[in-house]
Structure 1
Amino acid sequence: MTTPAAAEPQAAPQSRLRVIIRILGLLHPHRYVVYSVMIAALLGVVSSSIAPLVLGRGTDIIFNGVVGMQLPAGLSKDAAIAQLRAEGRDQFADMVAGMNVIPGAGIDFTSLGRTLVIVLALYLLSSALIWVAAYGLNEIVQRTVRDMRASVERKIHRLPLRYFDTHSRGDLLSRVTNDIDNVSTGMQESISQLVLAVFTLLGLVVMMFWISPLLAVIALLLVPAAAVVTIYVAKRARKHFAAQWDATGTLNGQIEESFTGHELITAYGRTAEIERRFTETNDSLFQAAYRAQFVSGLVMPLVTFLSNIGYVVVAVIGGLRVASGTSTLGEIQAMIQYSRQLSQPLAQIGAMINLLQSAAASATRVFAVLDEEEQDPEPAAPTMPWSRHGLVEFEDVSFSYTPERPLIENLTLRAEPGQMIAIVGPTGAGKTTLVNLILRFYEVDSGRILVDGVDVTGMLREELRSRIGIVLQDTWLFGGTIRENIAYGNPYATENQIMSAARMSYVDRFVRALPDGYDTIVDEEAGSLSAGERQLITIARAFVSKPSILILDEATSSVDTRTELLVQQATARLRDDRTSFVIAHRLSTIRDADRIVVMEDGRIVEQGAHEELLQRGGAYSRLYEAQFKALVD
């Protein structure tokens, strides 16, 4: 097949914010569950935010009891304060003035116990609600990621063959597996933590202003500084996350190529070069991942440091306010606790923003696949041929992989039902492209192709391809039994049909000698079978599909002479009563073709029977003589 050499295309750059919004948009089908999760998280945060304030009330009960026991019993609070001032203890008197104290009374253990029970209930309620939110969010994210995988899978089946010609298989696999897993991890961890962190931050701010607006303002002065630090670090980490996942895709592509071509790499002694390339890419991945994690990891300690400064300032000023009687000890205790907790959501927000950036870098690669241009849609009102005779007609067909390099121009060809059409010509002449156009792997630029009188663009692709059997030069067997590989051509084939196809294609001859027979497990490489045996299985697969049109693309080029005779005999049986297109370099295999079509540069330069073309002394004759001379020499 002639395809243009193309480098790996780069996805159009998208802003991280736009990608993150698109990721969140994937949650829209589960929006009602999301709303429930948000409400549960909000209520959980409210409960946990109130608890320190209530606990501060418990501290006040204890402190009031301790101070009350130091005052003379029987006096009123005002009288006790007056006595303290008369004794010159003004600071202590100011503190007592700000307290709810009863002189001579001890600790009210009943009120203290009731307060502690309320605190315990609030924390239990908060834990339960946050667990419910986390559980619900986990289900939402996993369902969303499952839908994303399904979308990518469906998209891959709608992509034109041109896409796979220009993209590394390893990189595509990395996008479907590693990148989607990273999106899943990012969504799972960052969204839940971000929601809780934002709600917690809002809850802390509200409670701090409720207790002391002055201390709240002091504590929150460092929030803008933390935001600046987070944004600065996030910008520096963004490019490293993108480089990390690009390098991951490149590395997977190299590994896939190395494993696929392991025998050739070993045979040509290129192992050291492959190891060098792997080491270079692996080092690039290490550097990118290290820098991404190092830079993004600076957020937590920097934000914690800034928050600790605010914690110290609040503690000092709060102590002075307790001493002056402006605030109670319980209020300052709650304020210090809130100030201490303030660093946690700030640091979490910074860390989760970096995690979201990593997920966004992977999502960009996944969305690049989802946004690829698809093959032409199926016709709204498909046309079905009334017959399955196998008449194929090319009418003034033109096609090119790239506009600047025309390949097939104004080609007209008619294959009658039951005819064998051999297509020959030099490499790059467009032979395989011609049959790919019949299969609609590519769409013609102009003209049309008809099967049994119907334009193929008006047919459903599945219906069109169900009429065509194909045997390629490169055999493909999937992981499964030999029986399953034969039945791949027709999922509804009976055991008798499978056995009949195996006998007709001479598969039965060697399968009977295998220990497990037709239940022998083979893989994609099918290392336990020879090239000829693998080819015979693919011919049996074509037999069982019962096509009306048969395409044989260099089916005998990679087998030995003895096996070639078996393959030729099997394909001859397969061609009976079917329109056949045979692409061959070995001209001796197509002497009995009804018509031989000679192609050069995408054009038909000659066509006719074998003897007729030899007598003309044209392009076919030159090809034949060159091949015959090579055999003699």
Structure 2
Amino acid sequence: MRTFRRLLGFLRPYRLAVAASVVLACGALAAGVAIPTLIGRAVDDIRTGGGRLTTYGLAIAGLACARLALSVSRRLVAGRVSLRVELDLRDRLYEHLQRLEVGFFDRAQVGQLVSRATVDLQAIRFFLGYGLVFAVQSVVTLLAALAVMLWASPLLTAAVLWPAPLLVLVAARYGRRNRPASQEVQQRMAELAAEAEQSLSGVRVIKVYAAEAVRSRRFRSAAERVYDQAMLSTRLRAFYSPLIAFLPQLGLATLLLVGSRAVPSGAVTLGEFVAFYGYSVVLAGPLRMLGMVLGMAQRAVAAGNRVFELLDRGPQLPEPTSPVPVRKVRGALEFQRVWFGYERGRPLLRGLDLRVEAGATIALVGPTGAGKSTIGMLAARLYDPERGAVLLDGVDVRRLSTRELRRTVVLVGEDGHLFSDSLRANVAYARPDASDEQVLAALAWAGADELVEQLPEGLDTRLGERGYRLSGGQRQRVALARALLAAPRVLVLDDALSHVDPATERRIARRLRETSGDRTMLIVSHRPTLLELADEIVLISDGRVSARGAFPELLARSPRLAELVSTSGASVARTAVS
């Protein structure tokens, strides 16, 4: 019930529209309830020769037209409400996902999240926009029809309604059994979406390893799990829905049996009996509708549980209640006794102490898994340390506005992720108001200026999803241009040029040196060309700083550094030593 009440809360901004929809529904049902009465009177008029048949016919036609107009209006109003609720929910869910920390997405499956933002929200929309109004309309129709029937003949009413207790029991049992089945269907659908997303996003790897058959079997297996669970729900619906529709027919059969004696005896007129039968038929529709609405409600609650599971998950990197204002940033970084691990109980950084002076360029080197990339992500506050603190100009980054911090500290990773947009939009991502001249200058700084001439539409060329139209090195250079245009005080390059050829890398390194000014730079790389940019090399080992110094000096006294660098360029390393 708590989930149900929370779902109803999304209708609060549209109270007037919901009320209008209910009023229109009541008007339509009033017209529908009046029609059997007029039909009954028309039948009696035929028998008695009252001469009012034309009047009754016109009245019935008028009520039918009014019912049509009111029903169309109600559906339009309800449809608008349902779409607005879906829009509100989708916006709220997306904004909430944007506030969640990177660590959440390390564990979550994208397909699961997409399923919750589409399939689950659609189930909620159909119930709140249509199902709820249908339920109100059906209940009011039942009450109105019952009131008229009891007023007309308690005997015939009892004949029609005796299956009602059975109907309530059957519907309740159906609800109890269908609720978990609906939740499982939603979960299996999300798993199928996740499987599809992984296969489509990794299509190049799949084709390189000729793994189409393997992925097809995995997708088929996920699809069969959806089928099996949906079939369970279908079997329940196949049994209970006809049963729910069958029970009212027993009441109609009993009505005919009782009426066959009541009309000849004069207890009721033929017209009254016809009208009563009409009301009984009117009752059957709402009863069937309530069965359908019950299924919609079960699916909506199951979807609501999955959506609220996300919305109730608070961000693990909360915003400070009173952030320290960011004024003139110098760019000094300090890591004080920092402990951090991606998995609880398995620390990657073990009491790291590291100070980077403002305007300095520091290169972080070390074996795989030493924590070099993690240091850069902690500086940008993509994660928070478990113990210790990360300071920017002496202020704990947890006390700074995240938005302001990430304008100050920009991280460029190895993947060079690009969006399915134009080259201009990708470079100007952090500065949408940047002029073409500024975009071109940033591309030149990143050694990607030739791209504008190579691409068919220059800056307006759409790069495709994840920049698939570009090579790995081109993507990295565009990502670097994006960061340089943002003009951060602290720039973190995490293997940001790993796919760039040596000649281009040297050209970019030269331009970085020319444009660095008083910017602080953290470089995570073993490439000698980039290491030569650094004022100091910091060797990270076992989650701590094990050595630091100028590149030639440290290379001469650290066999470990020499080994790491030799794999990236032995000839340049020997030149640096000499």
The answer to whether the superposition gives a TM-score over 0.5 is: yes
Q: Which residue of 2 aligns with 1:401?
A: 342
**1:18 is aligned to 2:2:** yes
Distance in 2 between residues matched to 1:497 and 1:182, nearest whole Å: 47
314-323 or 42-51, larger mean C-alpha shift: 42-51
Q: 5 Å matches for 1:340-355?
A: 340-355=281-296
Which residue among 300, 303, 307 is the counterpart of 2:241? Answer: 300
Distance in 2 between residues matched to 1:504 and 1:624, nearest whole Å: 25
Q: Which residue of 1 aligns with 2:197?
A: 256
The one-letter amino acid paired with 2:22 is M
328-337 or 36-45, larger mean C-alpha shift: 36-45
Q: Which residue of 2 aligns with 1:545?
A: 486
After TM superposition, the score normalised by the length of structure 2 is 0.93
**1:57 is aligned to 2:41:** yes
Q: Which residue of 2 aligns with 1:518?
A: 459
How far did 1:626 drift? 7.2
How far did 1:466 drift? 0.9
Q: Which residue of 2 aligns with 1:184?
A: 125
Q: 5 Å matches for 1:365-380?
A: 365-380=306-321
The one-letter amino acid paired with 2:8 is L
Q: Which residue of 1 aligns with 2:523?
A: 582
Instruction: Give the secondary-structure state (helix, strand or coil) at the position aligned to 2:482.
Output: helix
Which residue among 22, 46, 51 is the counterpart of 1:38? Answer: 22
**Aligned partners of 1:592 and 1:610 also within 8 Å:** no
Distance in 1 between residues matched to 2:122 and 2:515, nearest whole Å: 46
**1:339 is aligned to 2:323:** no
Q: Would the alpha carbon gap of residues 278 and 631 (structure 1) be closer, same or farther in structure 2, given more than 3 Å must change? A: farther
Q: 5 Å matches for 1:404-443?
A: 404-443=345-384
Q: Which residue of 2 aligns with 1:145?
A: 86
How far did 1:221 drift? 1.2
Distance in 2 between residues matched to 1:362 and 1:199, nearest whole Å: 27
Instruction: Give the secondary-structure state (helix, strand or coil) at the position aligned to 1:384.
Output: coil
Distance in 1 between residues matched to 2:59 and 2:15, nearest whole Å: 34
Distance in 2 between residues matched to 1:482 and 1:566, nearest whole Å: 21
Task: Note the alpha carbon deviations across 1:304-357, whole angstroms, 9 max, x for none.
Answer: 222112111101211211111111111111111222232221111112211222
**1:602 is aligned to 2:553:** no
**Aligned partners of 1:532 and 1:563 also within 8 Å:** no
Which residue among 25, 39, 50 is the counterpart of 1:108? Answer: 50
**1:217 is aligned to 2:152:** no
455-464 or 512-521, larger mean C-alpha shift: 512-521
Q: Which residue of 1 aligns with 2:576?
A: none
Question: Can you give the 5+ residue segments of structure 2 that lack an aligned partner in the other structure?
Answer: 574-578
The one-letter amino acid paired with 1:47 is A
Q: Would the alpha carbon gap of residues 570 and 274 (structure 1) be closer, same or farther in structure 2, given more than 3 Å must change? A: farther
Instruction: Give the secondary-structure state (helix, strand or coil) at the position aligned to 1:521.
Output: coil
**1:455 is aligned to 2:396:** yes
**Aligned partners of 1:504 and 1:573 also within 8 Å:** no
Q: Which residue of 2 aligns with 1:125?
A: 66
**1:620 is aligned to 2:561:** yes
Distance in 1 between residues matched to 2:457 and 2:16, nearest whole Å: 54
How far did 1:276 drift? 0.7
Distance in 2 between residues matched to 1:472 and 1:625, nearest whole Å: 23
How far did 1:172 drift? 0.9
How far did 1:558 drift? 2.5
**Aligned partners of 1:556 and 1:568 also within 8 Å:** no
569-578 or 295-304, larger mean C-alpha shift: 569-578
**Aligned partners of 1:394 and 1:412 also within 8 Å:** yes
How far did 1:622 drift? 5.3
Q: 5 Å matches for 1:560-579?
A: 560-579=501-520
Q: CA RMSD in A?
A: 2.4
How far did 1:158 drift? 1.0
Q: Would the alpha carbon gap of residues 137 and 527 (structure 1) be closer, same or farther in structure 2, given more than 3 Å must change? A: closer
**Aligned partners of 1:40 and 1:130 also within 8 Å:** yes
Distance in 1 between residues matched to 2:28 and 2:570, nearest whole Å: 87
Distance in 2 between residues matched to 1:596 and 1:325, nearest whole Å: 107
**Aligned partners of 1:397 and 1:408 also within 8 Å:** yes
How far did 1:560 drift? 3.2
How far did 1:573 drift? 4.0
**1:272 is aligned to 2:256:** no
Task: Note the alpha carbon deviations across 1:220-252, whole angstroms, 9 max, x for none.
Answer: 111121222222233333333222221221111
Q: Which residue of 2 aligns with 1:70?
A: none
Distance in 1 between residues matched to 2:67 and 2:389, nearest whole Å: 68
Which residue among 13, 18, 21 is the counterpart of 1:29? Answer: 13
Instruction: Give the secondary-structure state (helix, strand or coil) at the position aligned to 1:512.
Output: helix
Distance in 2 between residues matched to 1:197 and 1:214, nearest whole Å: 23
What is the percentage of aligned positions where both structures have the same residue? 32
How far did 1:628 drift? 7.1
The one-letter amino acid paired with 2:160 is A
Distance in 2 between residues matched to 1:61 and 1:257, nearest whole Å: 71
**Aligned partners of 2:110 and 2:194 also within 8 Å:** yes
**Aligned partners of 1:319 and 1:332 also within 8 Å:** no
How far did 1:627 drift? 6.7
Task: Note the alpha carbon deviations across 1:231-289, whole angstroms, 9 max, x for none.
Answer: 22333333332222212211111121112221111112222111110111111112222
**Aligned partners of 1:57 and 1:331 also within 8 Å:** yes
Q: Would the alpha carbon gap of residues 627 and 352 (structure 1) be closer, same or farther in structure 2, given more than 3 Å must change? A: same
Q: Would the alpha carbon gap of residues 519 and 624 (structure 1) be closer, same or farther in structure 2, given more than 3 Å must change? A: closer
Q: Which residue of 1 aligns with 2:264?
A: 323
**Aligned partners of 1:234 and 1:296 also within 8 Å:** no
**1:479 is aligned to 2:420:** yes
**Aligned partners of 1:201 and 1:342 also within 8 Å:** yes
The one-letter amino acid paired with 2:496 is A
Instruction: Give the secondary-structure state (helix, strand or coil) at the position aligned to 1:552.
Output: strand
**Aligned partners of 1:606 and 1:619 also within 8 Å:** no
Q: Would the alpha carbon gap of residues 489 and 128 (structure 1) be closer, same or farther in structure 2, given more than 3 Å must change? A: closer
**Aligned partners of 2:317 and 2:383 also within 8 Å:** no
Q: How many residues align?
A: 573
How far did 1:396 drift? 2.6
Q: Which residue of 2 aligns with 1:237?
A: 178
Distance in 2 between residues matched to 1:116 and 1:596, nearest whole Å: 96
Instruction: Give the secondary-structure state (helix, strand or coil) at the position aligned to 1:522.
Output: coil
**Aligned partners of 1:473 and 1:557 also within 8 Å:** yes
**Aligned partners of 1:606 and 1:620 also within 8 Å:** no
The one-letter amino acid paired with 1:454 is V
Q: Which residue of 2 aligns with 1:98?
A: none
How far did 1:126 drift? 3.3
How far did 1:184 drift? 2.0
How far did 1:625 drift? 6.3
**1:226 is aligned to 2:167:** yes
Q: Which residue of 2 aligns with 1:13?
A: none
How far did 1:563 drift? 3.6
The one-letter amino acid paired with 1:203 is A
**Aligned partners of 1:490 and 1:545 also within 8 Å:** yes
Task: Note the alpha carbon deviations across 1:475-514, whole angstroms, 9 max, x for none.
Answer: 1111222122211132221222112222222222242233
